[in-house]
Structure 1
């Protein structure tokens, strides 16, 4: 027997277990908010930009071939910036309590396509330390490039600046709560349909007709027990029996 579920039945299931869906959603949003605001450590981000530009002289013209050479060099510079040759000096200058490998995981070097500008992005739990790492990395890289590649074509375009009220880039509490609400709704709805699927009890006459495919002839209603009376007066069995010649009224 093939079972089909109408849209009305789906809404009936959701309405029946609406309290469960709302409860799970509230719990998920509350847990997400508590973790985002009180458990996770805020992470700040700072950026500095460097310009890769070949030094020009009278014999060298600034043409398209030169630009393409600089763009190709950026890919090489990206790897050099996060190498121990640069980061070991950054750790030493800033006296950081971490290795070059740990610092490398905090630094990301990006550049737009066909652009001579590279961006050093640093994330750290301290906004000031993130700015210091970004600026020091750019400065050390600018000093070490002539020694490593025998070229002097790197300039610091903009330094990382620390604002008055820096905002963390993560966690994002509002986004986390919104995601938790969506996940809570999905879990609540799924659990509601699962419980309805596992519930094989007969509750209405319609359930009997659907299963047996027979009409219902009659219904026995539930009759509640009538409470026993507690204040009924019983006859006085200890009354005095009248003697001969006496009447009840005397």
Structure 2
């Protein structure tokens, strides 16, 4: 009986020592002997830790506000022509421009293309240029390829002015040049282009000076055009 009690006491004691040993080892870190051998714990040192290399790289890759420059005129844009080649709009410096989103199957097609050709023929030698951008966002009325669009405009309406790559003029996919045009001159019912043949008049310095609704006929803006060109006759 005495021997069994002694064995039980031994098991309990051994069990206690075994589970208390981690605690005793942890407490030894804060003993007077260990504290004299090691620097005291300083919680403020955590704040002074350097940023990780990954974090530093990410911050450097983010564009700064100073590095982001807003376009000052249409001369800051490059667009694609009907053959997919880049065209720097700064090549039109010193000219008065009429930028139009065109379509081949619209109810406004015949009248607009006819009058655009008349305006161009009359004022092209005075520094006037028309920039036509096909767009299929309105009633899917410009479904053809660039080649088909150019052939249609040049054959049927004798268009001699440049016709560019087909673009979107509204929404997130809108061409950058059209985002700029709309932000420079908002429409009566908001910035969005309402239909085919909306028109933007650009002065010789590349600034958007006026905007006309799709239903505004090209010949009706002749007075504004002559003023910018300095033509009196």
Which one has a bigger Cα radius of gyration? 1
Shorter-chain TM-score tier: under 0.3
Taking structure 1 as the reference length, the TM-score comes to 0.24
Taking structure 2 as the reference length, the TM-score comes to 0.25
Q: Which has the higher contact order (CA 8 A, sep 6+)?
A: 1
